[in-house]
């Protein structure tokens, strides 16, 4: 059962919020069988973005990335479920939408790598958030 408790961070970027695909992203994750355990819409501060993208700070596109990510609100979410990190990243598609397959979020909704709608963590989220058992859990696992 411990595998069911894996959590991952998914964020809908400003272009995804502006284009109104929040519900579509949530629908895809819920339909897959994952459980939403946290969600917050916020305008990310420069400090938060710098911390989040620290590994990219020396890349030439960093200033453009910071401008893009601070251009509007983002929807930060934590999803839970068996294999949610790996499966979530597959559902998102490749970073470059041109390399993403139809049926993925980026494959269906993106054209340009600089506006690729969504972020997915590549590791397990460890924050202490709300814990509850969905009545559907026994039908999924």
Binding residues for ATP: 13, 61, 89, 95, 106, 116
The binding site consists of 13, 61, 89, 95, 106, 116
HSE at residue 130, side-chain half, CA atoms within 13 A, is: 11
- Note the residue count of the chain: 141
CB atoms within 10 A of CB 108: 16
Q: Catalytic positions, please?
A: 119
Please return the burial class of 12, using the count of CB atoms within 10 Å of its CB with bins 0-12, 13-18 and 19+: buried
């Amino acid at each position: 059962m411990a595998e069911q408790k894996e959590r991952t961070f998914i964020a809908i970027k400003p272009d995804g919020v502006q284009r109104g695909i929040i519900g579509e992203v949530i629908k895809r994750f819920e339909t897959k069988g994952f459980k939403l355990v946290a969600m917050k819409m916020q305008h990310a501060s420069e400090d938060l973005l710098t911390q989040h993208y620290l590994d990219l700070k020396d890349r030439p596109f960093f200033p453009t990335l910071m401008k893009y990510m601070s251009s509007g609100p983002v929807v930060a979410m934590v999803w839970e479920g068996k294999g949610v990190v790996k499966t979530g990243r597959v559902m998102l598609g490749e970073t470059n939408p041109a390399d993403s397959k139809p049926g993925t979020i980026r494959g269906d909704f993106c054209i340009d790598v600089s506006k690729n709608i969504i972020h997915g963590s590549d590791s397990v989220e460890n924050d202490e958030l709300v814990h509850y058992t969905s009545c559907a859990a026994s039908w999924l696992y």
